[in-house]
Amino acid sequence: MVCLSIPFQTADVSVRQHFAFSEEQRSAIRRQIPGAVLLCTCNRMELYAAGDPAPEALAGILSQAAGLAAEEFAGCLRIYTGSKAIRHLFRVACGIDSMVVGEDEILRQVKEAYRESAMQGTAEFEIHTVFQSAVTCAKRVKTDTALSRTPVSVATLAANEAARLGETVQVLLIGASGRIGSSVLKNLASHPQIRITMTIRSHEVPFTLPSHVCAVPYAERMQHADAADCIISATSSPHYTVTAKALREGILTRKPRLLIDLAVPPDMERSCGHLPGVRMIGIDDFEQIAQENRIRKQDMVTQAEAIIAEELEVCLKKSIFHGLQPDLERIRSQMSAMTPDGLIYHLRETLDSSQFAAVASALRQLGMED
């Protein structure tokens, strides 16, 4: 197993935006790397491939898809192989490697990435075993630890930042119907002092809105910018939803305003943050905000790491046993002509000392069973 990772820890959004592959791009990459799994989120891009492919070749495929020369992201690239790649996946699925430690969204994203690969029909036993084991491990961490019992996400942090602006806060939310936007809307609605104006793509609202939420057509979004104390955008649009020119023309009242951009690639033109009274924060700025949550959950992370170690052992044993199956008949034939003492002497001669110690320990335990 090989994993190539471009995560938030090493790559800022200016790099990661090139690896926010569309569904069509992910499918094209998987056709070049049969059975591969591509995980693309706002905080990371990861490619998992079974067997022993050359990381350089995989990086070349990513380079072509991203439109970047390999040397342009080489310093951001993390490479994991063998059991380290599997352990990394387990940590990612459990939310330990997330910007916001313990967030739940990443498990859904891991399952969706695996589902895409499985639907393409080229995934092998190793990919199926590893990803199913990662999901099992994440569910066990969720059940057996408190890591996710006080759920915190980027959406939560964004809503909290908006809530800190005052006793009454007017928020313009762009992209409320999307995956991240809907989570932001839910978190904003939990703060009674926040009044929300959300954009929709049509005049029909698909659900009943609370009294403090109103919906406006997306095309009219900048008409509501002046009233907003905070503008949050979380879409998957390839174009800016907020430009400096449109914002300059839209805001007539001089007052402090907070812009929060949760999209990768960014929804808001960077120069928006240079307008008078405007403070802008993007997805990468939440890493510092999330640090307090990370420290508070450190004990839970330690518990989760212990579970990961146990589940990793189970997964590796499954993989090893699967690899042994084609040779089982031949092994049975050879062992039928061998005495137990002969087998032990054979193992002593072929294994190193640590391996033979493990076999000896297993044999002692076998001898102690009734």
Whether 154-276 and 2-150+301-318 are alike in CATH topology: the answer is: no
Largest CA-CA distance found in the chain, in angstroms, rounded:
91
Unique residue bearing structure tokens 């066990």: 140
Residue 116 CB-half CA count within 13 A: 22
Q: What sign does the CA torsion over 324, 87, 145, 115 have?
A: negative
Q: Looking at the domain that runs over 154-276, which CATH code has it been given?
A: 3.40.50.720
Mean pLDDT over 91-111 rounds to: 93
192 vs 171: CA distance, rounded Å: 12
DSSP state of 287: H
Catalytic sites, residue numbers: 42
Class of domain 2-150+301-318 as given by CATH: alpha beta
User: Which residue, among 122, 126, 131, has the nearest Cα to 33 in the 3D structure?
Assistant: 122
Where in the chain are the domains?
Answer: 2-150+301-318, 154-276
**Residue 123: its pLDDT value, please?**
82
Beta bridge partners of 217: 200
Question: Tokens for 45?
Answer: 């891009």
Question: Tokens for 296?
Answer: 């508070």
Give Cα separations from 248 to 57, 253, 273, 276, 293 (angstroms): 46, 11, 11, 9, 35
Q: Is the pLDDT at 321 greater than 90, yes or no?
A: no
User: Which residue, among 357, 364, 359, has the nearest Cα to 343 in the 3D structure?
Assistant: 359
Mean pLDDT over the full length of the chain: 91
Mean pLDDT over 97-120 rounds to: 92
Question: Tokens for 235?
Answer: 């879409």
Q: Is the pLDDT at 10 greater than 80, yes or no?
A: yes
User: Which residue, among 293, 278, 359, has the nearest Cα to 101 in the 3D structure?
Assistant: 293
**Residue 211: its pLDDT value, please?**
72
Rounded percentage of the chain residues whose pLDDT exceeds 70: 96
Mean pLDDT over 32-47 rounds to: 95
Q: Is the pLDDT at 292 greater than 80, yes or no?
A: no
- What SS3 state is found at 170? strand
**Residue 173: its pLDDT value, please?**
97
Q: Which of 19-33, 121-135, 195-209 has the lowest mean pLDDT?
A: 195-209
Say if pTM beats, i.e. exceeds, 0.85.
Answer: no
User: Which residue, among 274, 266, 220, 199, has the nearest Cα to 244 in the 3D structure?
Assistant: 274
pLDDT in tens, 227-280: 999 999 999 888 999 999 999 999 999 999 999 999 999 999 999 999 999 999
* DSSP letter string, 210-227: PTTEEEEEGGGGGGGTTT
